[in-house]
């Protein structure tokens, strides 16, 4: 099955390789979607692909990199859009 989850992380998540590491892991798992910085200091991502791979990425987002600190994570399931490529924006 394919699913899509949008996740917004807050805490120390910008300037600590959070987006880059997120994209590397998502690509390794064959996921589509995106990750981007938000103007308010949070990081937003959407992961689309196999259920288990999406679940792995949502779990990773809760911990992040060695340099980050995730204080809060909002996750919501969405309808898949057909994303096959994973992009880093902003």
Q: Which residue segments constitute the domains of the chain, with CATH numbers given?
A: 2-89 (3.30.70.100)
pLDDT for 90:
77
pLDDT for 62:
84
Mean local confidence (pLDDT), 60-78: 90
The span from the CA of 61 to the CA of 73, in Å, is 8
The span from the CA of 3 to the CA of 80, in Å, is 6
The span from the CA of 43 to the CA of 8, in Å, is 6
Catalytic residues: 19, 37
Asked if 23 and 86 touch (Cβ cutoff 8 Å), the reply is yes
Burial class, 74, CB count within 10 angstroms (exposed 0-12 / middle 13-18 / buried 19+): exposed
Residue 89 has pLDDT above 80, yes or no: yes
The CB density around residue 47, as the number of other CB atoms within 10 Å, is 29
pLDDT for 28:
97
Q: What backbone torsions phi and psi does residue 63 show, to the nearest 5 degrees?
A: -105, -40
**pTM > 0.85: yes or no:** yes
Task: Write out pLDDT tens, residues 12-68.
Answer: 999 888 999 999 999 999 999 999 999 999 999 999 999 999 999 999 988 888 888
């Amino acid at each position: 099955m394919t699913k899509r989850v949008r996740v917004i992380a807050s805490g120390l998540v910008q300037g600590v390789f959070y987006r880059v590491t997120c994209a590397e892991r998502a690509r390794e798992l064959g996921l589509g979607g995106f990750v981007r910085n938000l103007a308010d200091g949070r990081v937003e991502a959407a992961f689309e692909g196999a259920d288990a791979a999406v679940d792995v990425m949502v779990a990773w987002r809760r911990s992040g990199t060695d340099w980050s600190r995730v204080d809060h994570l909002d996750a919501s399931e969405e309808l898949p859009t057909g994303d096959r490529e994973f992009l880093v924006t902003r």
